[in-house]
Amino acid sequence: MEFDSVFLYTALAVGVLTICTVLKRVNGWFYSIKFSSKEYRVPPGDMGWPFIGNMLFFFRSFKLGGDLGTFISYFVTRFGAGGMYKSFMFGKPSVIITTPEIVRKVLMDDDNFDLGFPQYLRDLLGQEPTGGTTIQEDKLIRRLTAPIKNHISLSSYFDCIKKIAKSSFEKWADMGEPIELFAEMRRPAFDVLMQVLIGGDQVAPHLLDMVFKQNSYRFSGLHSLPINFPGFAYNKALKARTEIVKVYEEIINERKAMIANTKGEPRTNLLDTMLDTQDDGEGTKLRDGNIVKTLLWYTFGGYESVARVATKAIMHLERNPEFYQKAKEEQEDIIKRRSSPNDGLNFDEISQMKYLSKVINETLRMGSTETVLFREANTTVNVNGYSVPKGWKFLTLLGKFHMDPNVYVKPKEFNPSRWDDLDKPASFLPFGIGPKMCPGANLVRLEVSVFLHYYILYYRIEQLSPKSEMETCVARIKKI
């Protein structure tokens, strides 16, 4: 009887192990058979479990390491340092890229790759209008949004950025009460973005407040399970997107009359520019749905990053007095070079902030370790000797590059001075690269530079919990 029990439990254990092993390989077998013709030569790798693929391992590594090093190491250790590995991520067969050379090749290829965001994220960002976005419309939108990428063109927003930064610090200091620094920093960054996107000073304050509030729900949905059911954050985020669409549609309808009555006048924000150029002269029409989608996408990613980088830079400088002192000396030197001590910060002085630029670089490097860049093959494409099928996603995890000890000595240490001899290596990609890189990269740098200028010269923070996480820091802003 005892022998029978041992045999039963052993057989059960072997059976469970066999089932798990088979299930673990089903995904790989399925896609290997599906793409086994001579037309394809997919990279080595592990497709993970059916339906969920490698996502459990991905999220577990994310929680453990933050920089996803464990996740990447698994593929490199098991399949060699080839730089490309098949996987199953976010519901799609995918290729994980681990070398900057291949990443740059993919990101620069605008003909064979589209943005490859997972569907749940695309739904949060903004649904396509009926009929989708044509290639011609996409190119027109990119042309119209080019001024946001151009550092010189951004000079037209400089006074607005300066005014908002100054008034925000003054308000926080006058309060005398502790504030949650990152949460408070989000509003002035939002106000700048609204001025750039829709001319915030032309919009009723209650509409701006509604967009800000609802967009906060969209961010909460981004960091939650994509379960579209009442009571879940993702469901609330989708409803928030719908509310923002209503606001933007109302603003667009009001603005059209103004545009019609002011033909030929210069446009000072993206919305007016898009409404004034709905036809590119070659028959390409920019529909209202695409204008709304563009505003939704830019609203989602256009101010959170500014607030995050500015907050983290302030915290890093506070925790490293020697770097704070260097940054302060540079800002004081800029003031000394002015023709009059009463002159305020001007746009040309931003280019003189060499050390502050290194502070921002270092903050971006350390602050983007959780960033995933997505692309999707719009045709069967050859990359690094492999033929990857149409529809497969390409993913790269910036933590693999930005925390590489072979490039950045002691990568977990904040050290702006490392950039003295480090001329932006190929692995430094905080905003991506190529035609589809983040269009707000220069706007982020400009805003953060202005915020840090005023903070370093005129304010300090008094932390209530010095060891708290940067994004939950509660502190008083004190004028010096």
132: tokens are: 């989708």
DSSP line for 107-126? HH-TTTEE----HHHHHHH-
Integer Cα distance of 79 and 144 in angstroms: 44
Integer Cα distance of 133 and 21 in angstroms: 43
Residue in the block written with tokens 């976005």 = 133
Q: Which residues pair with 85 in a beta bridge?
A: 96
With contact defined as beta carbons under 8 Å apart, do 334 and 352 qualify?
yes
Q: Which residues pair with 461 in a beta bridge?
A: 477
Integer Cα distance of 439 and 432 in angstroms: 10
With contact defined as beta carbons under 8 Å apart, do 365 and 408 qualify?
yes
- Quote the strand ranges of 347-448, DSSP E: 372-377, 381-383, 386-388, 393-397
First-to-last C-alpha distance (Å) of the chain: 83
Burial class of residue 69 in the structure, from the number of CB atoms within 10 Å of its CB (0-12 exposed, 13-18 middle, 19+ buried): middle
The reply, when asked if residue 438 is annotated as ligand binding, is yes
Q: For residue 162, which amino acid is it?
A: K
According to DSSP, residue 347 is labeled: G
Nearest to 280 by CA among 435, 153, 136: 136
Binding residues for heme: 438
Binding residues: 438
